[in-house]
Structure 1
Amino acid sequence: MSMPGAYAKPMGGWTPVPTAAAVAAAQTSSAEAAKAAQRSINALQRATSAIQAMQATQQAARDAAKAALARTPSGIPDGLKPGGLEPVVNTNQWIGGLAPSETKSDGRTKVTVEQTQQRAIFTWNKFNVSENTDLVFNQLSAEWVALNRVLDTAPSKILGSVKAPGTVLVINQNGIVFGAGAQINVGSLIASTLDVGPAVIRNESGNFIPSTTEWRNQNFLTNGLLGYDAPENNNLAESATFTPYVTITPTSWGGIDIVPVRNEGTIEVEAGASITAADTGSILIAAPYVINAGHLRAPQGQVILTAASSALALTPSTGSGSDPIPQRDKTQGGGEAVFAASDRNIRGAVPLPQAERNRSDLFVWNQDTGLIEAPQGNIYLRSPGNTNAYNASGWMFDNGGGITVGFGMVQNDGVLSSTTSVSRNGSIFIDAGDVRLGAGSSLIILPDTGGETIPQSPTSIADFRPSAIRIGRNASSIDMGEDAFILAPGGDVLFGRTDAYLGTMSLVINPGAEINVAGLTNVLVPISENQVFIDPAKKNELRDSPLYRSGFLNGATIYLDPRISGVRDDGVPWIGSPLIDATAYYQLVGVGVDRLMTKGGSVTLGVGVDNRFFTAPTNNPNTVVVRQGAVIDVSGGWVSYEAGFVRSTQLIDSTGHVVDISQADPNANYIGIANGWMRDHAHWGLVDTWTSSLSRGGGRWVPGYNEGRDAGIMQIATKALVLDGTFYAQAHAGANQIAAGKAGTGKSSFSGDDRLVQGGSDELPAGGALIFRPSANVRITADESAALPDGDYGNWTGGGLARQDDGTYAYTRSTLSTEPPIPADRLGALTLTDKQFSDAGLSQLSILGITEIRPGSTGAAITPSTRVATGSITVEAGANVVLNPGGVFRAEGTRVQIDGNITVPAGQIILRTAFHTNAFPLEVSTNPPTTVAPGTFAPGDFDIVVNGTLSVAGRWVNDYGAADDAIRGPGWLNAGSITMEAASHVTNWTETIGAIDPSDIRRGSILHADRVGQDRA
């Protein structure tokens, strides 16, 4: 990284030798930046290679299938022959289209279905498309839909091509196979074993009756797929988008059982098959068992693979974050509907699949040849999961295979790929009771290469949405296999959840797995972006400079350097010059998505926080395991400005001196622009101007330089933890940023992020933040305990996909292990080592073991609002936690004890304690909560104890005579702050906790908050 000089050097031939500390710091910074750049290159190359390899695999499979079928035909008759496409053409089952026609040419058979209305229903005895058949639906627009219902008792086989500008919907309850070589090119495709519409409706008496084919047909023709709105207080059977046919039988207690006609159909896309939707179109595949080994693609659209057998509800989402919730979604799956309405990363639909009571064999499987692409769109793989965990015996922490919604698995062994542009972010969602990212699999969201830009105005930049990956929101088990790969530069990746959760959840990241949301590095920016050109300047641009509104600047061509900015004495901010309002011109300079993806993203590993009112089994707590060899990277990237000439208009003042317009005084007297020299013949009203052929009109050579961007965030919410992997969170400041030494003035939108992030590109970038939300005690130690030995870890054991004797696959659910999820010595407290923090480049370490409960919170009848904590925090003797200058160390729990050393130069150290819920669970039935029994607490239970060292002293910097690449800059010289707040709310409770000195600074401890300084002659 180039380090142009920023401070004056001694005159003469003597050059002082910089301090060893300065040289070492510069070398370390440069070396770390080089490593970060190489990691970025490797990750991008790995992603590109994975996609290209999968594309080549698909092409090879297509070629092989074509050759095989040429040697041995499939046996499916071509065209409309019996056994091929067999329509049922009558007035009740062929609605909205002409009878299909057939033509032959060059050895191929073309079957055409002429659609005559926007929504049509076509019924087929068989729907088999041979390798020599092209099925074409003639539709007037992308809004037209053709529903094809298949009566066959065998799966449909599609080996040829299907084409349509609109939506083609194929329903066969016995399954569909898209064979190798199949080519589907439609506006949108829906393939399902479930029929359209709800399973039950209500008769005139308000009683449930099964919906018939005739009712479903009329509902579809009238309301389309998503237009039907069920009555209030509905259940999913009468509100879902897709359901099977059902029977209704009375129960012994006077109720009814709605029993689906069980369908076992599989929808499979074989290797070499291709399904492509039009731009903004979608692909939806829904069945109890979904297998993809082919290539699915929906540019700017959505691909949904979902396992469902008794119902599938689709909740529309525009990505606005404020979509209205249909009445049909408000009662059943209401939480999922709210999630869909509020999630800004989904443009399309949020699937809510359901299976029969206690059924747990459903699965979605993207095989190792499966390639799913949705550039600037969404990929959603989903099976039923733990959306409910309640039965008559009380709260349960495992729903036993799906008490209400069934249970299923999603396994990805292939490649899921999207892109993010400045206007449309890519997103990948995977959810199920059991989520498995197979060994060597990939989830990839790259910057889009379409060249789209947005203005660099604050509004435009704020509207940019980073890439989003969500995995296992309703899972019991999430497993990221060895060498599995997630890449989303600057993106947000969330495993599991961080809110209260009643199920037993485990998350395991295995050796070799990589989660990379680091910002892009070396994003090349032309020097022209450091140039603002105004031709001509008018009164609007001069409105804040009354002396020059009608002077020589009015109508002149002005060049400005937008990197120079400030605020005038009268409070007017400026860019390029105090004389010119150039903000609009600067903001119009387009910014590409690669520039916006240089900031590090976020990775959240969550298995739910321990519910305050119910306690999970202590022998099998929710667990996060990051094995040795796994890598998580949230480092910041940087942009690299090219070298070149930058022009800045030069002015002549009344004394003849030349002044750069960036340094001009709005109250001074300037007489012209120095483009050479001028002679004013006032008597004749003439001005002679001479310009030098050597002059660049104020241009100067600017060497190439880098500007670093903030690193990202890693967040962990768990009750048990093994963190043996490698974590990168460095930020890499450029030479100009170091020389200026400006602290960040921005504010992060991520909850719990206290860092001083960048408010402007010239400010120092912040290192990463590591945020823990524990449901247990936490200890930081200097001991580097041995990594976990080989073995299976997590709360669940066994289960998975297995090949059957008939060649099909079946899924068996894992069982809750009777053994602890991790070794016993790792239970009881989250054990962390100081080296994990000090080597990662962190600017923030927060252990947030306190939650605020406010009046009216769900399940908490508490007045006034109060804080509750979930465990103690101890920094053991010998532990040395060192964070970046200007950083934040925050520890909040029941009791905080610092026996080691915490160093945050010019930063913040915040220690807080609060009421402990595990020793005394809150009673939600009383207000205020039940009185604490005498002896429950003892003096010291809520103390903050410091036996070690807390230091927020400013840096000592010696830049005297330092070389350009060894300058450490004037940042972070002033001392920071230390804040301690010990159980300030304990008096809210009915037991008096004796005489406590809550903040105990023991003899021999050190609190260091000096201002140091800088020597930079």
Structure 2
Amino acid sequence: MNRTYALVWNPSLAAWTVTDERARRRAKGAGAVLAAALLLPLTAIAADLPSGGQVVSGSGAINQPNANQMVIDQASNKLAIDWQSFDIAAGNKVTFNQPGRDAIALNRVLGADGSKIMGQLDANGRVFLINPNGVLFGSGAQVNVGGLVASTLNISNSDFAAGNYKFKGNGSNASVINNGQITAADGGSVALLGGTVSNNGVIVANQGSVALAAGNAVTLDFAGDGLLNVQVDEAVVDALVENHQLIKADGGQVLLTANAGDALLKTVVNNTGVIEAQTLGEKDGKIVLLGSFDGGTVQVAGTLDASAPNGGDGGFIETSGAHVKVADSTKVTTKAANGKTGTWLIDPTDFTVSAGNDNQSSSGIGANTLSSNLASNSVTLQTVATGSEAGDINVNAAVTWNADTTLTLNAHNNININAAITASDAQGKVALQYGQASANGGTADYHIAAPINLQSGENFSTQKGSTGSVHSYTVVNDAAALQAMNNHLGGNYAVGSHIDLSGISNWQPVGSVTFFTGRFDGLGHTLSNLTIDRSGVLDPVGLFGYTSSSVIRDIGLVGGSVTGGTYVGGLVGYNLVGYNQIGAISNAYATGSVSGVDYVGGLVGYNYGGAISNAYATGSVSGSGDYVGGLVGVNTNSGTISNAYATGSVLGASQVGGLVGSNDGSISSSFYATTNAAGNPINNNGDTVAGFDGNAYGTGKTWAELTQASTFTGWSIATTGGSNAIWRIYDGYSGPLLRSFLKSVTVTVNDVAGKTYDSNTGWVAGASYSSSDNSANLLGSASYTNVATRNAGTYALGLTGLYSNQEGYDITVAAGSYTIAKATISAVTDISASNKTYDATTAANLSYDDAGFTGRIDGDALTVASASGAFTDKNAGTGKAVDITGIVLGGADAANYTLTSNTATTTADISKADLAVSGISAANKTYDASTATTLTGTASINALGSDVVFVSGTSVGAFADKNAGNDKAITVTGYTLSGTDANNYNLLQPSGVTATINKADLALSGSKVYDGSTSVAGSTLTATGVAGETFAVAGSGDASNLASKNVQSGAALASITGLSLGSSSNGGLASNYNAPGVAGSSYTVTAKGLTLTGISAVDKIYDATTTAALNTAN
């Protein structure tokens, strides 16, 4: 279909306000919409006014007369402004003064934030607001413009200037959301464009246009005549358009559209609010909800109103997409008070009318919802075909209405009427348009398994193929109208109700002299108790006498009797193919008796080149002459019989057959089932036919074989309901039944509550079923499939034993379920936890080996597959509680149990962790006769995780002994722990600390009295170490010991030749000292004492001094 829509620009009415009820609905719906908005910070407060505006094209001025207002004076017809932001806070106002209503002001936001319009926006022309980050019209926003485009899709200045309104996004689905009120002026429009577009407020464009479009590229075409074309050119992922409040465009048009362009890109068009486009004057309203045909979904709810309450004709409403889901209580109206009611077009792929008021899980509408809306609309259900869907229309629940409206079923492929359609109004109509995928319709058809009930008149029509002829039918509802068909033998007739003909005694076959060449459709109805007695007449006898080039279908003749002479059939005496090669009879049956002379059949007496399909006869057939058959007397001149059968007794003189008396045409997929076909066998020059007990050239089958689908090779036959096969068989209960005459019924097995697992095999009795048609008289008795299992679970509960006859049902069984509930384990015991060393976590290692299970049935295999353990806190301690969570059962029978609680408790210990001090070293020293050492470095510790632990204290280091040596071990003490987590650790003082005690030097010292030599005797020396340690010196020395023999004090020895270290008398060890040397030595030579003789004093005269003169001559 064409996905471009023309939207008309026309004068508007005054703005509407919202009622309280609608306001509540808006508030409810808006929450979900706003939560999904992308890139739009809805919780932010709008800036006071737009900022950073720069005119980039056209002529205009930006003025701000006060803090709360901004005025844009536009001088050119087109003006483009780039803004850093475009917000309007509550209480503020932006006004565009434009040259005229067709002037356009393009406002493009370059900043990173979405636009928040919380105040007032006024313009006498059109305003474009472009913000790729999103646009929000808040609940207090008031927009009064000539026209508005709010978009997250950009437009270039060159396209804008050239009038090419092509909007292109960046692939995001940023939102445009309206929670306020937007009103377009006379002839104006409102277009909201983005990845997601939501209206939770009010949009008014009376006699104008409102478009909400989601995609990555959209083209708007403003034509000179006021038309606006909207085309979604490119898809966006998860495109969404929704209306939760009110869109009003009386006399105009409303379009909601989203495009994914790909079945993998989900699109949704959703209406739960009110969309109104009522007729104004001569201007019909139009509402279109258009989703993608590549997987898009249109969700129809709320109200769609294109009615004409004040004159004129009703408008047009379309809801189209790959899937159209119409919610319960949806209100759609195109009703015209004084004119012609409009049309609602529903255009998906496959479409189903389902039971009751059900909301739709797939594409479809509830029958009650459709019925109620037919009171105010002509409704067209139209399908296309995409993907795996064929484009069928299925009516699976009864539709009833009483209005002068038309229900049109326009199918891409087939139409399947599985439930009654009833139009009670004299002008209520049904149109079946099928095979619209091609010009001639191909093999498509409409299938009537339930009646279409119509009033008399021109109320039914058909069309096969998109260019095929439309056949209008006159609906008849009584015997007189049926008989009156003789007055126009080329007409088309449809039966609008079941008709009892028991009061007719002189039936004149339709076409008794002249051929009936029209169309006759029973619409699934029956004509009962037709009695014809024309035994003395040679003309063909039946409901119809002669037929040629006619189409007769969907009719049943029930009971009665037909008697004639030559060419006698319950439905048609003589069926001729005719010049147009039609002569078709399908979906027809007769149950009454038929008798005559020659060419006598239960349904057709003589089939000359005609086609008979999906037909059967069950009444007795007798002929006093030749060519007598249960279904057809003679099938000749390439006549065809397919998918047909007969079960009545057959009596004739010669050429007698259970199905046909004589055949030189084609017979396929057909059978007869009678033990009485008396007379000479048939003249069979054509195909053979399956028969019962081998009568009359059929392929004989026993009754057991006749009731088994497997014996019908090559037939389109099904053993389950709801198929597309031509035949249905209930194996073991029925022969083949023609599905076209069976009503669809679903038997649903009710779920059985079942039992709790007890380790025993079996199931609980009490199964039952419910039927989709409570009036259905199903044969047989239900037998439910057993559930032969002991294990817990939910199992399908099937049903067998129900069946039907040809006047009954195509039974589909929907399985129920039987549940064995899991038994309960109320407690899991004896799960243990391992002791551990503190690791700064609460993790606990569990052991399940000895686990016990309270509630386990003896003999069942249960284990703990997994669980998690955690100490109540991380700290060290004994007998600490361990919480066990996440217990998962294992073992062969685990699936049969459920845990009351998947938690338990136990206890375990957490011992303290060792925490070593590091970073400490010691300095080497020279032997000092003590164990003391000097420590260096900074003490540090590596606590676990994020533990808070500090090391402190005055450290002391001590060698193991005082003696000199290399890499001697040092013991460090004095550190302590503090901090929140200190109690979780054992502090280890620094270890591995070593240092070297180097040997000390000895100092040699001594003295002697001058002896005239340079040697030093050891006995005159002492070797002095540290801490008062001294050593004796041995040896007699050597002349090299002193550099001078003379008296000297503290002179260093020149050598220690001839000298060696002796022992210590006060505890000193020679191993702690280096060998003595001259360094640091000190030796003193004192003067030797002399005694002088022969010296005398010289006498003197007192001279007042003590000086004496000596005489040393002697």
TM-score computed with the length of structure 2 as normaliser? 0.38
The structure whose residues are more often helix, as a share, is 1
Larger Rg: 2
The structure whose residues are more often strand, as a share, is 2
